[in-house]
Amino acid sequence: MKLDIGGEERFEASIDRIWSMVNDPAVLQRCIPGCKSMTETGPDQYKIELNLKVASVGGTMEGAIGLSEKTPPSRCRIQVEGAGTLGTGKGDAIFELREEGGQVVMKYEGTGDVGGLVAGVGQRILKGVAKHLIGKFFTAFRGEIQKAAA
Amino acid sequence: MSAAKGKFRYISSDRRVLEDRRFVVGKGNFVADIVRPNMKHVAVVFSPHPAARIVNIDASEALKMAGVHYVLTGDELAAATQPMPNGMPTPEVKRYPLAVGQARYVGEWVVAVVADTRALAEDAAEKVKVEYEPLPFVVDGKEAFKKESPPVHPAHGSNILLDKTFVWGDVEGDFAASPRKLSFSQKWGRSSTVPIETFGVIAEWDAWREVLDVWASIQMPKYADQIATAMRLPMNAVRVHQDVDVGGSYGVKRGIKQTVLVCYLSKKLNVPVRLIEDRLDNMRGGDAHGPERNFDVELAFDDNGIIRSMKMDALDNVGAYAGRSPFQLGKPIGAIVGPYKIKSVQYRAMAVTSNKTVQEAVRAFGQSPTNYTIERALDEVAWALNLDRLEVRRRNFIQPHEFPYLIPSGTSYDSGNYPGLVDKVVKQVDLDALYAERDRLRAEGLLAGVGIASCLEPSGGNSAFEPLLNRQNKTTTWMDSCRIAVDALGTVTATMHTTSAGQGHETLVATVVGEALEIDPEKIRISRAHTLDVMPSNSPVGSRMAIMLGGAAFHAANKLKRKMMTIAAHDLGVPLEDLVWDEGTMTSKKNPEQKRTWNEVVLIAHRHFYRMPEDMEPGLTAQHVMQVPNGGKLPTDDDRIQMYPCFSFEFHVVLMSIDPDIGKPVFRRYMIGHDCGTVINPKIVHGMTIGGIAHGIGAALLEEFAYDDEGQLLTQSFMDYLLPSAHEVPKIETVHQVTPSPLTVFGQKGSGESGYLGAPAVISSAVNDALHPLGIKMNSLPLKITKLGDAIAEARAKAGKEMKQ
C-alpha cells in the first residue's frame, strides 16, 4: 500500500552542519529507528539492517539506502528499499534545506510503498507508525545536534 | 421406496443432537488434539508480492538452527508430485502447494520449514531469504478479462479460464416482444465462511506397511483420490481417517495443497508431519476466499411486472489459480430463474485469473451471489413500474400446481408452495405494520427500509455443472453410502463413509435408522470408516446429506429389516407377507401367537445358522449406495441439464434503519419463512438457518478481503476483516412450512445454505429501500458503514445543493 510522507522541521544550526549530518552514515545509523547497522557499499550507497516493531508484529529488515541528485547544501534525494520478516518496503523522498530567520528549515516530501505482513495486518495504523518513526528520527537527530554543540 | 409421510416416530421430533454432548464438554477430537509420536511441524514463508519471479532462495541460516529439519521449495515439490487438479481444460494453469518459479499473489506459500515445534518453524521461516523480481500484476476482475492485462500464467496466454454463453429459450424473441426493458450491474465482494478452526492436517508415512495415514480438518470431495494422484501413490496406500471432528467449514476446508505438502514431507523425512494454519496463513494463503463476482443484467418484462426474459453476465475473479472455483458459476444454472417463471435466459459465465488469493468453494457454491442478483432484478422491475416489490414476486412465482416445474436451463424443480409460505410470513410479521414502522422511523429522521427476498436452495448436490462448463469432463454425479450391522448381542452400528464438518450427520443416520427399525436412535452406534474401509461416498457438499446419507441409511435399514423378517418368516414357517414389524418384533398377522423377537432373529443369524433360509448369508449386515435422485445424465447438446434434484424455499423479510450521519445499519426485525420439506432434526435445521443468516449478514455488511491497488491484501486479521458478532446479529423469527419432496425417502430437502442464500439479498433490498428517498442505490456488497456513510453524505450534499439552486 502507498503512503505519502511529508513535513517540515526547523533546526538551530548552520545549514552546512545539517547537510554534513544528514550525509554522515554514523549519524544516520544512530538516528534511524531500529537501525542495527549501516555499511557503505559504494558512493552514497549503504546497506542497512533494521530491527523494527510495528503494532503487534516485530521483525528484521535488510535493505539499501541510496542518496542521489545532491545539490549541497540544499537538496538531496533519498531512496530506500528493503525486505524482511515484516514484508517489503520502498521509499523515495526529496529533502530540501534552506535558511530562514537564523534557523535551518528541512522540508521533506515523498512516497512509501509497503507490502507483505505489515501491509496486511498493520495498514490501519501504518500512517501513524510512519509518523511516529519519522518523529523518533528527528528527536534523535536533534539530540545529535545538541551533542555536537555541547 | 419411501417412507409413509407424516407419521414419524423420531423424524421431525425435537431431539437432541448426538454430537453436541462431546462438543459442549470439550471432548471433540479435532486435528490439533491428535498427537503422533515424533511429530514435526511446518511453517510457511509467503510471498509479499502480487507477482514476482523467485530469483533465489537462501535457507542456510534457517537450516543452521537447532531443531530445524528441512526447508522445502516449490521446485523440489513440483518435481516429485503431480499438479493439483484443475477443473477447467486449461493445462497451463498449473498449481502446486508451493510457488514454482513465480509467486502469483500476496500470501502465496513459497517455502515450507519443518521443525520440532511450530514456534521454532516460524522463527526459522523468518531466516529464509527469498529474493524476488517483481512482475506486472492485475487485481481487478474486469481488468483481468481485458486482452492487454498481464497474464497471471504467461504459458496460458491470457487470464480467461472460462467464457461461455448459454442461451435457453427464445431470448431475443422475448426481448423484442417485451414492452419494457431495464438493466443494472452489481458486484458481490470477496468474503469467506471463517470457521473457528483453521485448516489443519497430519500426515504419517509408514514405509514398512507402505501406507500414508492422514488426519485432517477436511470437507473436500475426492480427498483421498486427490492425495493419491498428487503423491503418485496407489489409492489403497492412502488412509484418510474420517473420524476427525471439524471445527466449521461451510465449504472452505479444501486443504489439498496443505495435505500434499505434509504428505510429501512425511514421506521424505519419514516422520509424522503436521501443519495447522494460523489465522494469517488461513486468511491470506489458505482456502478462505469465496466468489468475487461482477454481474451485468438485462431484463425484458411487461407492464404488469411479468419478467419474460433475462440476460445475465457473471464474471468471477477466481484469483491466481483454477481449482474448482470456475464451477461456482455453474451450479447457479440449476436455479438460474430462482422461484420465478422466467421463460428464457441468456447466461454468460466468465472466470478470470488475477493476482489475488485463490477462490475456493464457499457455502452454496456460488448460488448466493446469483440469488442476490435475481432478487435485485425483481426489485428493479417493481421500482421501474412503481409496483409493490412483493406483488411483483407474487406475479412471477411458480405456482404450487405447476410442479414438477421445468426451468429453461433443463432442471426440474421437485415441489414447492411459494405463495403459501409468503402468506404465512406476511401474516406473522404483519407486513402493513412493518411498513408503518418504517415510515415512523423515517419521520424520526432515520433512513429506514423494508427488505424482501426469496431464495431457492438447490439440494442433494451432484456435479452436473462440471460437464456443462467443461465438456471434456464426463463426471455428473456422486453417491453416498451407509452400512448397518447388527452384532451377535443385538446392538446396531451404522457406518457412514465421509467426513463431517459439524452438520450433525451422526444424528441424521441414527434418527433415520431408528425411524426405519423403530428403535431408539440413542442406542445406535455411529461409526465413521477410514478410506481403506469405505463404500463409495462423496463429501457433505451441495446441501446433500439429509437426502443422500439419509437416503442411504434408510434403504440400508430397510434391507436389514427385510433380511430379519425373511429369517423370522422362514423360522416360523409363514409367508413373509404375513409378518408385521413392531419395534423389532416380527408377528404373524394371521396368528399373533406366532412371533420372533429381535434377539431371537439375531441369535439365528449369528449362531444358529441351521435355522436360516437356504442360500442366505449368515450375520446381519446390510448396505446401500445411494444415487442422487433424478441425476446422472450428461448435458444435452443445447446445454440443458438436470442439476440438483430438490429445492428448498425460503422467504426473508427485514426492517432496517440506517443512521444517516454515520451510515450504520441496524436490524429492527428479521423474519425467515423456511420450507425444506420434511425436517429430520429441527435443532439442526434451526442452527443451520440462524447460522446461515449470521453468515449472510457478514457477507452483506461487514466481511471483505479488500485489496489495494498494489495487490496487497489489507484485511487478514479480525481487526480488519470484520465478522458479525452478537451485536450485529438480531433476533431471528422463523416461520415453518413443510412441502415434502416427492424424490426423497421422507420428503426431506437440504437446509444447510438457506440463511446464507437469502440474507445478503434481503439486506441489499432493505438498504436500497431505505436509500430510495435519497434517490441512490447501492450496487455492491459488502455494504460497509464507510461505504454507506459516504454514499449518504454525497447524496445529501447534492440534494442540499439542488435545493439552494
Q: Domain A2-149: what homologous superfamily?
A: START domain (3.30.530.20)
Q: What pLDDT sits at residue A123?
A: 75
Task: Please give the average per-residue pLDDT across B475-500, as a whole number.
Answer: 95
User: Hey, which residues does B455 pair with through a beta bridge?
Assistant: B650
Same domain assignment for residues B222 and B131:
yes
pLDDT tens readout for residues B306-318: 999 999 999 999 9
B305 pLDDT higher than 70: yes
Question: Is the Cβ of A3 closer than 8 Å to some Cβ of chain B?
Answer: no
* A50 vs A63: CA distance, rounded Å: 8
A114 chain-B contacts, CB cut-off 8 A: 712
Q: How confident is the model at residue B82 (pLDDT cuts 50, 70, 90)?
A: very high
Q: What pLDDT sits at residue B4?
A: 54
Q: Which residue has the higher pLDDT, B212 or B85?
A: B212
C-alpha dihedral (B462, B464, B467, B473), degrees to nearest 10: 20
Do residue A121 and residue B708 have CB atoms under 8 angstroms apart? no
A116 chain-B contacts, CB cut-off 8 A: 46, 48-49, 106, 712
Same domain assignment for residues B455 and B338:
yes
- Listed range (A64-68, A144-148, B49-53, B353-357) with the worst mean pLDDT: A144-148
Cα Dmax for chain B:
102
Q: How many residue pairs from chains A and B have C-beta atoms closer than 8 A? A: 56
- CA distance, residue B715 to nearest chain A CA (Å): 6
Q: Which residue has the higher pLDDT, B804 or B48?
A: B48
Q: How confident is the model at residue B194 (pLDDT cuts 50, 70, 90)?
A: very high
Output the CA angle B96-B98-B103, nearest 5 degrees.
100
Q: What pLDDT sits at residue B141?
A: 97
B690 class by beta-carbon count within 10 Å (0-12 exposed, 13-18 middle, 19+ buried): middle
Domain locations in chain A as residue ranges: 2-149
Q: What pLDDT sits at residue A127?
A: 83
B interface test, pick of A54, A113, A117 with most B CB neighbours within 10 Å: A117
Q: How confident is the model at residue B803 (pLDDT cuts 50, 70, 90)?
A: low
Question: Is the Cβ of A83 closer than 8 Å to some Cβ of chain B?
Answer: yes
> Which residue, of B626, B651, B668, is where some domain finishes?
B626
> Which residue, of B582, B607, B626, is where some domain finishes?
B626
Amino acid at B700: A
State how far the alpha carbon of B76 is from the alpha carbons of B66, B70, B73, B112, B238, in Å: 23, 12, 6, 11, 22
3-state secondary structure of B708: coil
B495 pLDDT higher than 60: yes
B38 pLDDT higher than 80: yes
Amino acid at B276: I
Same domain assignment for residues B502 and B649:
no
pLDDT tens readout for residues B8-27: 999 999 999 999 999 999 99
Nearest to B714 among A60, A113, A119 (CB): A119
Task: Please give the average per-residue pLDDT across B222-230, as a whole number.
Answer: 96
Complete edge-to-edge strand list for the sheet that includes strand B211-216? B68-73, B109-115, B40-46, B273-276, B200-206, B211-216, B238-241
Residues, chain A: 150
Amino acid at B675: D
Task: Please give the average per-residue pLDDT across B93-119, as a whole number.
Answer: 97
Same domain assignment for residues B93 and B241:
yes
**For residue B365, which of B334, B409, B406 has the smallest C-alpha distance?**
B334
Task: Output B436-445 pairs: Cβ under 8 A, ≥24 positions apart.
Answer: B437/B655, B437/B668, B437/B669, B438/B655, B438/B769, B441/B657, B441/B668, B442/B773, B445/B660
State how far the alpha carbon of B626 is from the alpha carbons of B464, B478, B483, B549, B633, in Å: 16, 9, 11, 8, 16
* B374 vs B765: CA distance, rounded Å: 11
Same domain assignment for residues B272 and B299:
no
Residue B175 belongs to some domain of the structure: no
Residue B236 belongs to some domain of the structure: yes
Same domain assignment for residues B426 and B507:
no
Task: Please give the average per-residue pLDDT across A70-90, as a whole number.
Answer: 90
Same domain assignment for residues B308 and B379:
yes
Complete edge-to-edge strand list for the sheet that includes strand B129-134? B102-103, B52-58, B129-134
B284 chain-A contacts, CB cut-off 8 A: 120
Nearest to B710 among A1, A60, A124 (CB): A1
Output the CA angle B633-B637-B640, nearest 5 degrees.
60
Residue B90 belongs to some domain of the structure: yes
Do residue B720 and residue A121 have CB atoms under 8 angstroms apart? yes
Nearest CA in chain B to A87: B48
Do residue B106 and residue A60 have CB atoms under 8 angstroms apart? no
Q: Supply the mean pLDDT for chain B.
A: 96
3-state secondary structure of B346: strand
Q: What percent of chain B has pLDDT over 70?
A: 99
Q: How confident is the model at residue A58 (pLDDT cuts 50, 70, 90)?
A: confident
Amino acid at B508: L
**For residue B366, which of B169, B105, B644, B97 has the smallest C-alpha distance?**
B644
Task: Please give the average per-residue pLDDT across A28-55, as a whole number.
Answer: 88
B5 pLDDT higher than 60: no
Nearest CA in chain B to A2: B710
B721 pLDDT higher than 80: yes
Read off the DSSP letter of residue B746. Answer: S
Q: What pLDDT sits at residue A131?
A: 87
Contact by Cβ (8 Å): B242, B480: no
Nearest CA in chain B to A114: B712
Sign of dihedral through CA atoms B791, B792, B797, B803?
positive
Q: Which residue has the higher pLDDT, A120 or B670?
A: B670
Q: What percent of chain A has pLDDT over 90?
A: 56
pLDDT tens readout for residues B503-546: 999 999 999 999 999 999 999 999 999 999 999 998 898 899 99
3-state secondary structure of B697: helix
Set of cell numbers at residue B101 = 518459479
Nearest CA in chain A to B710: A1
The answer to whether the bond into B782 is cis (omega within 30° of 0) is yes
Nearest to A121 among B48, B709, B717 (CB): B717
**For residue B700, which of B750, B758, B754 has the smallest C-alpha distance?**
B758
A56 pLDDT higher than 80: no
The three-state (H, E, C) secondary structure of B352-390, written as one string: EECCCCCECCCCCCCHHHHHHHHHHHHHHHHHHHCCCHH
Task: Please give the average per-residue pLDDT across B107-115, as a whole number.
Answer: 98
Task: Please give the average per-residue pLDDT across A48-77, as a whole number.
Answer: 86
B6 pLDDT higher than 60: no
B804 pLDDT higher than 70: no
Same domain assignment for residues B648 and B700:
yes
Do residue A119 and residue B708 have CB atoms under 8 angstroms apart? yes
Same domain assignment for residues B459 and B601:
no
* A18 vs A20: CA distance, rounded Å: 5
Task: Please give the average per-residue pLDDT across B99-118, as a whole number.
Answer: 98
Show the domain range for B765: 293-464+634-802
A interface test, pick of B113, B126, B137, B714 with most A CB neighbours within 10 Å: B714
- CA distance, residue A120 to nearest chain B CA (Å): 5
Contacts of A4 (CB under 8 A, 6+ apart): A110, A111, A112
B34 class by beta-carbon count within 10 Å (0-12 exposed, 13-18 middle, 19+ buried): middle
A47 pLDDT higher than 70: yes
Residue B409 belongs to some domain of the structure: yes
A59 chain-B contacts, CB cut-off 8 A: 126
Residue B143 belongs to some domain of the structure: no
Q: What pLDDT sits at residue B683?
A: 96
**For residue B378, which of B394, B357, B367 has the smallest C-alpha distance?**
B394
pLDDT tens readout for residues A93-143: 999 999 998 899 999 999 999 888 888 877 777 888 888 888 999 999 999
Q: What pLDDT sits at residue B2?
A: 56
- CA distance, residue B47 to nearest chain A CA (Å): 7
- CA distance, residue A46 to nearest chain B CA (Å): 18
B718 pLDDT higher than 70: yes
Secondary structure element (H or E) that encloses residue B320, with its range:
none
pLDDT tens readout for residues B559-572: 999 999 999 999 99
* B188 vs B293: CA distance, rounded Å: 5
Do residue A2 and residue B712 have CB atoms under 8 angstroms apart? no
Q: Which residue has the higher pLDDT, B693 or A145?
A: B693
Task: Please give the average per-residue pLDDT across B632-658, as a whole number.
Answer: 96
A115 chain-B contacts, CB cut-off 8 A: 48-49, 106, 710, 712
pLDDT tens readout for residues B366-382: 999 999 999 999 999 99
Nearest to B710 among A60, A113, A117 (CB): A113
Do residue B106 and residue A115 have CB atoms under 8 angstroms apart? yes
Contact by Cβ (8 Å): B280, B129: no
Do residue A115 and residue B719 have CB atoms under 8 angstroms apart? no
- CA distance, residue A59 to nearest chain B CA (Å): 8
Output the CA angle B52-B53-B54, nearest 5 degrees.
110
Q: Supply the mean pLDDT for chain A.
A: 89
| DSSP strands (E only) in B553-664 | 579-582, 585-588, 595-596, 620-626, 646-658
Q: How confident is the model at residue A60 (pLDDT cuts 50, 70, 90)?
A: confident
pLDDT tens readout for residues B747-802: 999 999 989 999 999 999 999 999 999 999 999 999 999 999 999 999 999 988 77
- CA distance, residue B53 to nearest chain A CA (Å): 15
CATH of the domain at B116: 3.90.1170.50
Q: Rg of chain B over CA atoms, in angstroms?
A: 28
Nearest CA in chain B to A126: B714
Same domain assignment for residues B622 and B640:
no
- Listed range (B55-69, B81-95, B567-581, B585-599) with the worst mean pLDDT: B81-95
Do residue B708 and residue A2 have CB atoms under 8 angstroms apart? yes
106-135 of A, contacting B, C-beta below 8 A: 113-117, 119-121, 123-124
Do residue B719 and residue A85 have CB atoms under 8 angstroms apart? no
B805 pLDDT higher than 60: no
Do residue A121 and residue B280 have CB atoms under 8 angstroms apart? yes
What is the count of structural domains for chain B? 3
pTM score of the predicted model: 0.94
Question: Is the Cβ of A57 closer than 8 Å to some Cβ of chain B?
Answer: no
3-state secondary structure of B702: helix
Nearest to A116 among B48, B717, B719 (CB): B48
Same domain assignment for residues B314 and B223:
no
CATH of the domain at B500: 3.30.365.10
How many beta carbons lie within 10 A of that of residue B401, not counting itself?
7
3-state secondary structure of B636: coil
> Which residue, of B262, B285, B308, is where some domain finishes?
B285
Task: Please give the average per-residue pLDDT across B91-107, as a whole number.
Answer: 96
Nearest to B713 among A2, A85, A120 (CB): A120
